Amino acid sequence: MGTTNIFWNAYVQAENKLTYNFLCLLEYMPNVSEFANFLLDDKYVFKNEHPKQIEKVFGGYESNPDGKIKLVTSDNREISIYFENKTHRCGLEESQLNNHLRVFCCTPEDVLLVITPRPQDKNIIAGLNNPKVFFKTWQQVSAKLKEINEQQPSFLVAQFVEYGVLSGECVHIESISNREIGEYLRARKTETEEKFFGLFETLRQSLNFNDLGLCEIDSEIKNHWGRFGLEFEFKPKKHNFGQWFFFGIYYDSFDHGLKLESPGVPELAFFFDINPKERERLKQNEGLGRAIKRLCSNGFEENLTVKAANPWRLLFCRQSLKENEELSVERLKNTFDNIYQLLSKDKDFADVMF
């Protein structure tokens, strides 16, 4: 029986879940030697055999790495790889790594592997100036696993890569070019779609949901109905009109019925939706009517008194994505914050809809 079990991940904290899944992968993947060689920059040549030892998340020590993998080299040396995992939720600290090195990496056969989603963390590793420390990003890990899986297909490897993308743990994209957006819309390339997921997952990570002031708010990345981005669901404080909202890229008018400003040019869009059955009741709300007029003077379009789209839309705003334009997380966040501030600070709108 192995140390880990792919059907039994008892951890609740997302970082520990990722660690356990990664250890499962190392314990059971068929070509672990190639992967391990990559993780340690080909400093060692490992035998293609299951790890000699795996230890899960440490606890109770002066310093607590996230795990340990012991592998055997081709010349029969046993290398203990201590593992430090960081996700977008927690930054990397030099002091923690120094503690791991001092407490655990005490012999020539002990090394420290650090994996984070941030390429800039490499600067922290360089600052340590210690040959025992190896660094990879989760994006690099995912890319290498895809390469390995193309050469020797493995269900387990494919599942880990898919988990990394869908969970957002193995993607961290700061920007995507308009050219890449256009390429995806034309060809629907899987690798570009993963960039889209990475971009919006990075955006979601950057948002402070507490600042939105909404009850039980949740978001999910969706690609349907001619739009790709974040869908936000929340519990209204007073009135339930089936309201929710979307922020992302609008690229096809077949469902929404809103013509793109420039044919074939996608748009950065915000849609605030309601249950169509509530439209007549909302039309009677004078405060909401006043709010919609104010918001339309600030760049919004409405779909309550003037039917401009399918009946799910209530209010929306859009910006065409021009050629050679880069869509960065910073721009997305600033645009979203500005839109949400206009809505939340309009008392009449917020009182009815939030």
Q: How would you write the pLDDT of the chain (354 residues) with one tens digit per residue?
A: 578 888 888 888 888 899 999 999 999 999 899 999 999 999 999 999 999 999 998 888 888 999 999 999 999 999 999 999 998 777 889 999 999 999 999 999 999 999 998 877 898 999 999 999 999 998 889 889 999 999 999 999 999 988 887 777 777 777 888 777 777 777 766 666 777 877 888 888 788 888 888 988 989 889 899 999 999 999 999 999 999 999 999 999 999 999 998 888 889 999 999 999 999 999 999 999 999 999 999 999 999 988 888 999 999 999 998 766 788 888 999 999 999 999 999 999 999 999
Residue 211 and residue 121 share a domain: no
User: Of 139, 167, 195, which residue is a domain's last?
Assistant: 167
Residue 281 and residue 150 share a domain: no
For residue 5, is it within any domain? no
Residue 263 and residue 135 share a domain: no
CA distance 57 to 123: 25
For residue 128, is it within any domain? yes
Residue 279 and residue 197 share a domain: yes
Domain span at 145: 14-167
For residue 3, is it within any domain? no
For residue 9, is it within any domain? no
Residue 285 and residue 137 share a domain: no
SS3 track for 36-105: HHHHCCCCCCECCCCCCEEECCCCCCCCCCCEEEEEEECCCCEEEEEEEECCCCCCCCHHHHHHHHHHCC
User: Of 140, 167, 194, which residue is a domain's last?
Assistant: 167
Q: Where are the alpha helices (DSSP H) in 93-250?
A: 94-103, 122-128, 138-151, 155-167, 178-187, 190-206, 209-212
Residue 305 and residue 210 share a domain: yes
Residue 214 and residue 332 share a domain: yes
Whether 157 contacts 26, CB under 8 Å? no
What is this structure's pTM? Answer: 0.64
Residue 343 and residue 298 share a domain: yes
Residue 191 and residue 129 share a domain: no
Residue 347 and residue 288 share a domain: yes
User: Of 151, 167, 183, which residue is a domain's last?
Assistant: 167
Other C-beta atoms lying within 10 Å of the C-beta of residue 3: 14
For residue 304, is it within any domain? yes
For residue 221, is it within any domain? yes
Residue 203 and residue 139 share a domain: no
**pLDDT score at 164:** 85
Residue 157 and residue 196 share a domain: no
**pLDDT score at 191:** 62
**How many structural domains does the chain have?**
2
Residues in Cβ contact with 124 at an 8 Å cutoff, skipping those fewer than 6 apart: 92, 93, 94, 97
CATH of the domain at 46: 3.40.1350
**pLDDT score at 195:** 75
For residue 6, is it within any domain? no
For residue 306, is it within any domain? yes
Virtual torsion, Cα 210, 212, 213, 216, nearest 10 deg:
-70
CATH of the domain at 209: 3.30.1460
